[in-house]
Structure 1
Amino acid sequence: MLWIRAFLIALLVCLLTLHFLKQLWTHRRYPPGPLPLPVIGGLWRTGFGISQNTAIKLAKQYGKIYTIWIGLLPMVVLSGFQAVKEALIMNSEVFSGRPETPFIKAAFKERGIIFSNGHTWKQQRRFGLVTLRKLGLGKTGLEHRIKEEAQQLVETFAEAKGQPLDPSLPIKNSFSNVISVLTFGQRFSPEDEDFQNLLKSITFVLKFGGSVPHILYELLPWLMKHLPGPQKKVLSLLEEALSFAKKKIEKHKEHQALHDPQDFIDFYLLEMEKAKNDQNSTYNEENLAQCIIEFFVGGTDATGVTLLLALLLMATHPDIQEKVHQEMEDVFGSSSLIYYRDHKKLPYTNAVIHEIQRTRVLLLFGSPRQTTKDINMRGFHIPKGTIIIPDFFSALRDPEQWATPEEFNPNHFLDKDGLFMAREEFMAFGAGAHVCLAEHLARIELFIFFTSLLRAFTFQLPAGVKELNQESVREFTTHPKPYKLCAIPCCST
């Protein structure tokens, strides 16, 4: 009996070895990467999660295009500006798909804009772009509302009377209210419990992205969907967030403004009415609710975190802050009315804002793509349906493109005459077919909020504090560790 058991074990080992070798042979045409082991793939090399340092090491070892296997699922990572540009811009259509992994399917069900594909994605994204323009993007009406929120934030900071304050919550509330006005046509008070729960839900979902439980769900969906854990909570919170959005949709339907739409929901309901007899229409309440949540993810988390990072950098780089103050004083004197169109008059300030976004990358990796057809790139075969991970951090810190990639240096965006210089290497909003839908809105918000605060205050470290921790907490998005600073009123205000 012992020899039979030994024979069966040996046979099993041989079969597994043959299967493993077959997998290696099948995968030989993919870009190189860590050796994919059974079950876990190449995750052994990343510690079950890719950090900034890990990505740098992998790119140095395997090149600007490399493959990481998650179980039997290949992910091709694009590192450096040229590789990202070649794929997402020069071959935009091929790299325009979104992955359909087990968790993404369970969480988003191909709704909305960010994680949809094909006709749904094209129709929803086109509608989003057109509607943002109709709502006044780039016009004085919307800008006036943004300035009101910025002024409210200035007044909140002023209440601290120069004492140490944590700017995170006031900033989050300000940016979420800009999105609220756009989508719901109303502001929310900081005491509104339902609205605060929505923001907390979004924060939890973002923390889950890229975590070990998330990766395990993609590897073992048949097991993870039955086990307790954060994956269950995330799916539940997403449903609660959608429920919140649907309640607002119902209220809009009760007072529908078909002839005079005022916000995103109004315009969407009008489009649903127009397309009700179109069998190919994707305009429905499920997609509308998903679009609303996506607006809050980008408009509250991403843009708000950028301003948080901006104030942190101003407090720790007083020389640069002083140059911003001086430029605004030279151009505008005692006037506090600065509009987005004035960014051309403030080249140094504009360069500082861009450099903040370059050096403090919000997404270590851009949201994943999926190839829509086979493509040969740099001698490697990338089959249709392959998940693509663009490493925007490496593009924004590429030593081949930036003079001092690791330093906070606004001169990266200034020419020899001190004029602002736009650069194609600046990919803070992504690139290609999935470039940030609300990029222009984010640019307006950052400029107005940043200049409003810098016109009103000088930001300093609290007494006795020699330096603030500038390390970022890296989850799905990066954000600074909690900090306090002092907003000292400027003499001119």
Structure 2
Amino acid sequence: MEPLGTCTALLLIGTISLLLLSAIWNSKMYRKGRMPPGPTPLPIVGNVLQLKGKQWDEVFSKISEKYGPMFTLYLGTEPVVVLYGYEAIKEALIDQGNDFSARAKVPLVEKIYKGKGIIFSSGESWQLIRHFTLTTLRNFGMGKKSIEERIQEEARYLLEQLHGTKGQPFDPHHLVTYATYNVICSIIFGKRYGYDDKRFQDLFALCEDNVKIFTSVCGKLFNVFPALMEWVPGPHHRMVTNFAKFREIVLEEAKEHRATLDPNSPRDFIDCFFIRMDQEKHDEASAFTMENMVICSLDFFGAGTESTSSTLKYGLLILQKFPEIEEKVQEEIDRVVGRSRMPGMADRGQMPYTDAVIHEIQRFISFSSVGVPHAMVKDTLFRGYTIPKGTTIFPVLTSALHDDKEFPNPKEFDPGHFLNEDGTFRKSDYFIPFSAGKRNCAGEGLARMELFLFFTSILQNFKLKPTTDPKDIDITPLEKPTIRFPRPYKFCVIPR
């Protein structure tokens, strides 16, 4: 039996056994106190069956019609408070941001991270590492080359690869994903790799495999029933092995960096981390350790590659379906940038239509419908309910991005959602694809820069040619509960 079948079968047997052996139902399920109301959970499994095989944000939308913008669900025996709608999300993550700033425990991630890094850490360590990372990205610019220059360098290489397709149909998955991976490699390691480099290929394979495992059936089940799934064979056990291999790659790079480190001229994130480590070498409680360096590097690859590459791939697919929008973007690029130089971030302010299209791509696809779950720092009174310390919080980002009052016809792709009547760019507080508040994505600025520079560079040089009639292009996402991946496709790029 294949691992996935084994995983599902053993889970079913285990669940039935637990149901039969449970003479007394876990009372924690009913100790709601003043928690928000929600649909009645089943013993042991909670509300999991209501979510099975569905887009979670669509399920949450229907539940919110009955229970309002705040309700409680149970994933197994663990309560989760769901925030649905911009106002509830804003009130929690921004107005009471300190209370909602802890990170929820995700069992499959916790096996690897152990509370370290940027994304899945909490408390003082998280604050120190996040501040260090933001400061490094924002003010330092990553050494002798600015981040913008690093992205432009990778864009040139990507354009060469696209020219190499010679107008023939190809799947953009690897090329686009390699480009985003190399941007992260440049920031962390201070260098880009050839796409056929063995270390680069190993790094890519490990990270991509972990994404597949995390979004698999076994990965999701582990996060709901970790004690049971520890005994169930399946691909979820491979994540620990993958991390060990990833750690070896980072430590090899770190060893080379340590040998050539110049504290007065840091080249990249690892150099900056080493300098901070040396400054705090006498502090036994310092958060700046080799293990945290490795986990932070994993965070960069986890948060800074899949979401950006999927948005790029999805955006290129959407523009094939709407060639008139592609043409308007190219007209604006030709008018503002021309063909003799690469687009730069300074151009964005003069390109409102292009900026609106990129925002609309992010809004329309809503790549991560609930973002990374939050948790309560302490027992907190919120909207008349008491949410206990440690309770997991799901802010449904799609509920803001698809709000029909802020974005008329939210299910339709329309750059006009981000344009004023006079054609200038229109900002919206509801645009929160990177979440909001104290735990918004630390790499938001980097991602926005990559999306603008990659999109404009490609459209400056190529016309997108679909392999089917545009009206037949399917832009609905693959069926994943909380993440929207584009469907695989092939297309052609024709030099302009």
After TM superposition, is the score higher than 0.5?
A: yes
1:191-247 deviation per Cα after TM superposition (whole angstroms, max 9, x unaligned): 123322222222222233354323432444333223321221122212221222122
Distance 1:230 1:333, change over 3 A: closer
1:333 to 1:284, Cα distance in 2 relative to 1, 3 A: closer
Identity across matched positions, percent: 37
Aligned to 1:280: 285
- Residue in structure 1 matched with residue 14 of structure 2 by the alignment: none
* Equivalent-residue separation in structure 2 for 1:435 and 1:138 (angstroms): 25
Between 217-226 and 89-98, report the one with greater CA deviation. Answer: 217-226
Question: For residues 379 and 257 of structure 1, what CA distance do their matches in structure 2 show?
Answer: 55
2:63 — aligned with what?
58
Indicate how the Cα distance of structure 1 residues 348 and 201 shifts in structure 2: closer, same or farther if over 3 A, else same: same
Q: Distance in 1 between matches of 2:478 and 2:140?
A: 34
Q: C-alpha distance in 2, partners of 1:306/1:102?
A: 27
Counterpart-to-counterpart distance in 1, 2:124 and 2:479? 33
The answer to whether structure 1 residue 187 and structure 2 residue 192 are counterparts is yes
**C-alpha separation in 1, matches of 2:365 and 2:142:** 26
1:351 matched to 2:351? The reply is: no
Asked if the contact 1:137/1:441 (under 8 Å) is kept, the reply is no
Match of 1:384 in 2: 389
The worse-fitting range, judged by mean Cα deviation, of 203-212 and 183-192 is: 203-212
Over aligned residues, Cα RMSD in angstroms?
2.3
Aligned length: 476
Q: Distance in 2 between matches of 1:49 and 1:200?
A: 28
Report the CA distance between 1:450 and its aligned residue: 0.8
* Residue aligned with 2:102, SS: coil
Q: Secondary structure at the match of 1:470?
A: coil
Name the counterpart of 1:7. Answer: none
Residue equivalent to 2:309: 304
* Paired position in structure 1 for 2:38: 33
1:489 corresponding residue in structure 2: 495
- SS where residue 111 of structure 2 aligns? helix
Paired position in structure 2 for 1:236:
241
Shift of the alpha carbon at 1:427?
Answer: 0.2
For 1:21-420, list aligned pairs within 5 A. Answer: 23=28, 25-47=30-52, 51-136=56-141, 141-209=146-214, 211-420=216-425
CA distance in 1, matches of 2:383, 2:217: 32
Structure 2 distance, partners of 1:338, 1:120, is: 38
Contact 1:34 1:45 in 2 (8 A): no
Q: Which shifted more, 297-306 or 196-205?
A: 196-205
Paired with 1:454 and 1:219, the residues of 2 have a C-alpha distance of 43
- Could you tell me whether the CA contact under 8 Å between 1:375 and 1:384 is conserved in 2? yes
Secondary structure at the residue paired with 2:393? strand
* AA matched with 2:119: I
Q: Which residue of 2 aligns with 1:467?
A: 472
Sort the Cα spacing of 1:414 and 1:139 in 2 relative to 1 into closer, same or farther, 3 A. farther
- Paired with 2:491 and 2:215, the residues of 1 have a C-alpha distance of 31
Q: Tell me the TM-score normalized by structure 2.
A: 0.90
Kept in 1: contact 2:213–2:219 (CA 8 A): yes
**Deviations, residues 355-382 of structure 1 (Å, cap 9, x unaligned):** 0010011102110110111222223221
Between stretches 472-481 and 136-145, larger displacement belongs to 136-145
Contact 1:206-1:477 within 8 A present in 2 as well: no
Deviation of 1:52 (Å): 3.7
CA distance in 1, matches of 2:201, 2:72: 40
Asked if the contact 2:218–2:235 (Cα under 8 Å) also holds between the matched residues in 1, the reply is yes
Structure 1 residues 298 and 138: alpha-carbon distance in aligned structure 2, compared to 1, 3 A threshold = farther
SS in 2 for 1:472: coil
Q: Is the 8 A contact 1:202 1:297 kept in 2?
A: yes
Q: Which moved more, 1:333-342 or 1:114-123?
A: 333-342
SS of alignment partner, residue 146 of structure 2: helix
CA-CA distance at 1:474 after TM superposition:
4.5
Please tell me whether the aligned partners of residues 371 and 383 of structure 1 are also in contact (alpha carbons under 8 angstroms).
Answer: yes
SS at match of 2:287: coil
CA distance in 1, matches of 2:283, 2:315: 47
Matched residue type, 1:51: W
Which whole-Å CA distance do the structure 1 matches of 2:444 and 2:107 have between them?
Answer: 29
Q: Is the 8 A contact 2:214 2:236 kept in 1?
A: no
Give me the whole-angstrom Cα distance separating, in 1, the residues matched to 2:221 and 2:271. Answer: 40
1:478–1:50 CA distance, 2 compared to 1 (3 A): closer
Unaligned stretches of 5+ residues in structure 1: 1-11
Q: Mind listing any 5+ residue stretches in structure 2 that lack a counterpart?
A: 1-18
Larger deviation: 457-466 or 36-45? 457-466
Aligned residue identity for 1:31: P
Change (3 A) 1:429 1:181: same
* Alignment match, 2:463: 458
For residues 225 and 23 of structure 1, what CA distance do their matches in structure 2 show?
A: 22
Q: Which amino acid aligns with 1:314?
A: L
1:139 and 1:437 map into 2 onto residues whose CA distance is 22
Alignment CA distance shift 1:225-1:25 (3 Å): closer
Q: 2:6 — aligned with what?
A: none
- 2:337·2:347 contact (CA, 8 Å) conserved in 1? no
Instruction: Tell me the SS of whatever aligns to 2:285.
Output: coil
Matched residue type, 1:263:
D
The more displaced of 246-255 and 332-341 is: 332-341
Which SS does the other structure have where 2:434 is aligned?
Answer: coil
- CA distance in 2 between counterparts of 1:369 and 1:197 reads 32
Normalised to the residue count of structure 1, the TM-score between the two structures is 0.91
SS at structure 1 position matched to 2:60: helix
Q: Using the alignment, how far apart are the partners of 2:246 and 2:191 within structure 1?
A: 17
| Alignment correspondent of 1:4 | none
* AA of the residue aligned to 2:294: A
The answer to which of 329-338 and 414-423 deviates more is 329-338
CA distance in 2, matches of 1:16, 1:27: 21
Aligned to 1:3: none
**Matches of 1:176 and 1:250, distance apart in 2:** 21
SS of the aligned residue for 1:89 comes to helix
- Check 1:467–1:25 CA distance in 2 against 1; reply closer, same or farther (3 A cut): closer
Report the alpha carbon displacement of residue 140 of structure 1 after superposing the two structures with TM.
7.4
